[in-house]
Every structure is written in C-alpha cells, then in structure tokens.
Amino acid sequence: MIYASKNILQTIQKLKMNKFRKLENQFIVEGDKLVQEALSCVPGKIKKILCTEKSELYSTDLHGFAVFEISESDLMKISSQQSPQHSIAVLDGLDCSLIENPSEKIILVCDGIQDPGNFGTIIRTADWFGISTIVASKNTVDFYNQKVIQSSMGSIFRVQVKYVDLPEWLENSTRLKIGTLLEGKDIFAVQINEPCVLVIGSEGQGISSSVKDKLDIAVTIPRMGGAESLNASVATGIALSELSKVKK
Amino acid sequence: MIYASKNILQTIQKLKMNKFRKLENQFIVEGDKLVQEALSCVPGKIKKILCTEKSELYSTDLHGFAVFEISESDLMKISSQQSPQHSIAVLDGLDCSLIENPSEKIILVCDGIQDPGNFGTIIRTADWFGISTIVASKNTVDFYNQKVIQSSMGSIFRVQVKYVDLPEWLENSTRLKIGTLLEGKDIFAVQINEPCVLVIGSEGQGISSSVKDKLDIAVTIPRMGGAESLNASVATGIALSELSKVKK
C-alpha cells in the first residue's frame, strides 16, 4: 500500500476548515465505523481512504478505491478525534435534492442550532425515527463540521440536510407547521395525523421571531421539575417520538 | 475587592482533577448563570467566588461570601470553558442522602454512562421531568467532572446522584425494574402506573449483563429508520416522557 503523501495529509488538515470544505466541496469522515458506513451508503462519493495497520479496512479488499497507508502517529496529528479509530476518508459533498416526499409525515426543521454535537445528535435522532429530510436555517452550524459528522454516527448518509431561507421556505410549504416552544399546547395531548413540519429552535434563543410568525401550532413538552429548558437534541427526540405516533 | 491569590488559582486548577476533587470534597462551577444557581440553591456549600469586572456578580451584594476579583485573562487560564462567563466558584461536595421518596414514580438509574456531556444532559433531563434521584453504577463518569457540571445547566443542585453497587442496589429495591434495550416491549405500548426504576445503559455497551439479570421488563423505543442506536440522553428523554405519563 502506498504511504499517504505530505500533500494528502495537508489537504485533510485544511478540510477541517469550513471555508476550505466549501471551496473543495469535500469533507472528512473518521474512524473505521464511519468509513465503513460511507463505503456501504455512498461509495461513489469516496475520494480517498487512509488507514493504519490496525484498521479493519487494512486487510479488506478495497479494489477501485484510492487507499493509502498512514501511521497511527500521523493519523493522530491530522485527526480531530481524541482516540482516532484507525482510518479517515475524504468524501465529495453529499447530494441534497430536497425533493419532498408527501408520504413522509414529518420534515424536521432546525432554526439556528449552534452546537455541532447537538446537530449531529439531532440528525441521528431523525434517522432513528425514519425522517429523511432536515431543513436548516442558514445560521445553523455547518453540516460538514467534524463534530456534526462524528456525532451523527453515520446518519448523515441517510438524512439529507438542506440549508434554506427559513421564513420563505415555511411560507411556501403546504404542511402543517408545528414549533416547539417553552409555552404552547401540551405535545402529549395534540393529535397530528397529517403531513407536518416540526421546528426546533436554537439552544440559547429558541425559535426566531420571523419563523415563529409562520407557525400554525406551538407545542411544549410539559415540565414537571426545575430545569429551565431541555437540551435541543433531547427535545427533538421527545417531540419526534410523540409526533411519529398515529394517535387514535 | 481582594484579587485572587496565586494559591487560590492553583487550587482551582487542581480541582479539575478527579483525584483532587475526591481528596478535598470540593468542586468547581463556572459562569455567572451556574454561580447564581449555586447562590440560590446551595449557598451554604459555596467556599469562594471569583469574578471579573464584567461579571453580573461583580456589583452584586455578596455579603458573607468570600468573593475575589480575577482578570479576564487569569480566568481564561484557569477555566475549562472556551468562553468563560466571567465567574467561577469553589463549592463543597453536595449532599446525597438517597432517602427514597415512595411518592416519586421514577428513580433514574445510569449503568456506566461514560460521556460527561451525556451524563450532564441526563441530569438536566431528569430535572425537567421532576425526578430528584439518579442512582449510578460505580463505573459511571464522575458527577463533579467539569463537563457534567456545565452540561447539567444547574440541575446538579436539584437532582441528587448516588453511586452504588448497582446489581446489589437493584436486588434490594422493591420497585418495578425497567430497562431500555434495543430489543424489548414497545415503550409506547406498556402501561406503568406503579413506582419504578428506569435503567439507561452506557453509550457503547448498553446495560451490563449483571444489571440485565435484575430487570423485570425490557422496553425499547421503536426504530423506524436506519440509525443503529439513539444517543443515551435522547433515549433517556423519550423514556422519561413516556413513563412520566399516567396512561389510561
């Protein structure tokens, strides 16, 4: 196996920056598990795979892919993980057509989520509930941020995320628009059996006022204790679990 | 206001280490919001408060507390936050009596949660649902870890966490023991109206086998999509929201 050149290592370093990712329309996934998910979900997007001797991919037949060897110490240098899991891959940007599937009950909308760990976890949670589309406001954290990718645990390959002018997009959507707010109807009591949009607000600010104006219903997860708010990804999980049910 | 001595700054540095926290039975909270929560929830536990000129506490009357001034740059040096929020406090360890309140429907049990952000978020979520007691296995991440404290958003002052020999504790509990597993009864379909214990497993391993042996019911959050698992704090949120409801 050819050893990864200095040039390749530098490119990977650069892809940690949003600016460079945009310029190249490329991004990085790290660790055997995620690289394997990329191989099975989006093989056509893989530009390069770098793996160490310890990687499960090292002895796998990756015919047709550009595979390079890297030492554990070089991987440590270019990785953004504390304990890199033996491989890293460079991928072309994923497709995002935003063709709405009317048979899908829920489209998830993120209004300004800032924390990459939260956003990755939201993508993973959406995937668990079978949601294939997330629409995000333009000030939402970058989908290709390393922490988003890693905390999504591979769900980025199954959930498409589209960044839009959110008030405008909501204006044009014919779906029922539901927003999670600290004050609204008890989410456990509402019955939603039609195609809808579920809006989750940002960690600090909640849903922005221009988006709030477009909502049909505000729902809230009833609070029984002292916490001021729920973490954004936890709130998403609870709201999706409720709205996914067909209530009678 | 007296400027914080080198000695005080060093003590705070040391309290970032688990070993030193245990030795001194002290821990740190950071940021105006958390320090203010400490002042209102556990004033008797506060040993020292350090604040910068920018802190909301700087001009607050904190008569009776040991308050020191610190520069933004010194705070930056001792803080574990990327953008320190102008104050930091040293507290004595919180009380944890583990007196079971039979009128509380749910006791939350964490079996080996490793990620401090997840554990803090779980504490915050428990607090939202009015749960006052979390029982944790001894291999669960330290409650006083900086990231646990910060991501709990102040809920550490309202939720007590007790570390126990978990199989033994479960053996002695008379409550119904429910565990979240990837395979179990549909949590949306079960009816639990009696006092119970809800066990959440660790991120990588789930519930350990010695704890699984003690369960009365295994429940699962129905998966509709491709994700292999849910984040531990998201799963906790969904399970607590379901079990908190009184179903008819």
- In terms of phi and psi (left: phi > 0; alpha: psi -120 to 50; beta: otherwise), the region of A212 is alpha
Query: What is the percent of chain A where pLDDT is above 70?
Result: 98
The CATH code for residues A106-244 is: 3.40.1280.10
- CB contact under 8 Å between A158 and B236, yes or no, is no
A246 pLDDT more than 80: no
Mean pLDDT of the A6-25 span: 94
Residue range(s) of every CATH 3.40.1280.10 domain in chain B:
106-244
- CB contact under 8 Å between A234 and B229, yes or no, is no
Q: In this predicted model, what pLDDT tens digit does every residue of A148-186 receive, in sequence order?
A: 999 999 999 999 999 999 999 999 999 999 999 999 999
A64 pLDDT more than 60: yes
B96 inside 8 A of chain A by CB: no
CATH class (in words) of the domain with range A6-92: alpha beta
What's the gap in Å between the CA of A207 and the closest CA on chain B? 20
- CB contact under 8 Å between B238 and A235, yes or no, is no
Nearest to A127 among B132, B225, B236 (CB): B225
Mean pLDDT of the A47-75 span: 95
pLDDT at B102: 78
Angle (CA) A162-A166-A169 rounded to 5° is 80
pLDDT at B96: 80
pLDDT tier, A101 (very low <50, low <70, confident <90, very high otherwise)? confident
Residue B125's closest chain A neighbor by CA? A230
Mean pLDDT of the A9-31 span: 95
Residue A247's closest chain B neighbor by CA? B188
B128 contact residues in A (CB cutoff 8 A): 221, 223-225, 227, 229-230
What's the gap in Å between the CA of B122 and the closest CA on chain A? 9
A125 contact residues in B (CB cutoff 8 A): 227, 230-231, 234
The span from the CA of B35 to the CA of B15, in Å, is: 16
CA A38, A40, A45, A50 torsion: positive or negative?
positive
Residue range(s) of every CATH 3.30.1330.30 domain in chain A:
6-92
Of all residues in chain A, what percent are helix, strand and coil, respectively (each to 5)?
A: 35, 25, 45
A98 pLDDT more than 80: no
Q: In this predicted model, what pLDDT tens digit does every residue of B90-146 receive, in sequence order?
A: 999 998 877 777 788 999 999 999 999 999 999 999 999 999 999 999 999 999 999
Of the residues B238, B240, B246, the best mutation for testing chain A's interface (the one with the most A CB atoms within 10 Å of its CB) is: B238
| DSSP for B4-56, written as a single string | PPHHHHHHHHHTTSHHHHHHHTEEEEESHHHHHHHHHH-GGGEEEEEE-TTST
Residue B157's closest chain A neighbor by CA? A226
- CB contact under 8 Å between B237 and A230, yes or no, is yes
For the ranges A6-20, A89-103, A147-161, B110-124, the lowest mean pLDDT is seen at: A89-103
The more confidently predicted of residues A101 and B170 is B170
Q: Which residues contact B208 (CB under 8 A, 6 or more apart)?
A: B111, B112, B137, B166, B201, B202
Nearest to B128 among A121, A129, A230 (CB): A230
- CB contact under 8 Å between B231 and A124, yes or no, is yes
Q: Which residues does chain B have with pLDDT short of 70? A: 246-248
Q: Which two tokens stand for residue B31?
A: 């940021």
pLDDT at B95: 84
Helix (H) or strand (E) holding A160: strand A160-164
pLDDT at B248: 52
A78 inside 8 A of chain B by CB: no
Question: Where do the DSSP E strands lie in chain B?
Answer: 26-30, 46-51, 67-69, 87-92, 106-111, 133-137, 160-164, 176-186, 196-201, 217-220
